[in-house]
């Protein structure tokens, strides 16, 4: 009987800690939400949470107008011809990120409007106001990392 009580107590303790962790993980995952600037300073990306995943769209461009057309810059490098007339401002360039713990978001992609390519991506929170964004093809080892800064600093 003591063994059964001990097992039940252990099971209850495990379940109680498991139930609390997702709430904490969700809160930690939301540290990604905000407006970020890549190191090149040409754009600002607003990251939001939509249906449990994280997405980022371009909300500001240093040069929002195409000098050749005097119209908003378009996604002219997109390999999909139907997307080449879409304005870059408002374009969702980060898609489908999931928080996996320890300040890391994975399973998402990043789109580079300068070359029209989409890459697998992992995001790491270095501190409250700094991200390492690593885009890669296939293996994380073969990629490039950029440092993004939060524009509205967390205190």
Give the model confidence (pLDDT) of 14-51 as tens digits. Answer: 333 334 434 456 679 999 999 999 999 999 999 999 99
> What is the three-class DSSP state of 20?
helix
List, as one string, the DSSP characters of 82-134. Answer: GGTTSBSTT-EEEEEEEEEETTEEEEEEEEETTTTEEEEEEEEEEETTEEEEE
Closest CA to 85 of 73, 69, 93: 73
How far is the C-alpha of 16 from the C-alpha of 13, rounded, in Å? 5
Give the model confidence (pLDDT) of 51-62 as tens digits. Answer: 999 999 999 999
* Residue pair 86/71 in contact by the 8 Å Cβ criterion: no
pLDDT given for residue 9 in this prediction = 45
Confidence at 2, pLDDT banded by 50, 70, 90: low
* CATH number of the structural domain 2-150: 2.40.128.520
């Amino acid at each position: 009987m003591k063994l059964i009580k001990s097992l039940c107590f252990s099971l209850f303790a495990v379940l109680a800690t498991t139930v609390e962790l997702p709430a904490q993980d969700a809160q930690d995952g939301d540290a990604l939400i905000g407006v970020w600037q890549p190191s090149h300073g040409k754009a600002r990306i607003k990251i939001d949470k939509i249906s449990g995943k994280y997405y980022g769209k371009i909300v500001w461009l240093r040069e929002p107008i195409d000098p050749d057309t005097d119209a908003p810059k378009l996604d002219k490098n997109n390999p999909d011809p139907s997307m080449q007339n879409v304005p870059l401002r408002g374009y969702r360039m980060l898609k489908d990120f999931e928080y996996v713990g320890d300040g890391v978001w994975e399973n998402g992609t990043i789109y580079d409007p300068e070359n029209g390519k989409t890459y697998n991506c992992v995001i790491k929170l270095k501190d409250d106001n700094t991200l390492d964004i690593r885009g890669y093809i296939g293996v994380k080892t073969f990629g490039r990392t950029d440092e993004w800064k939060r524009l509205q600093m967390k205190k």
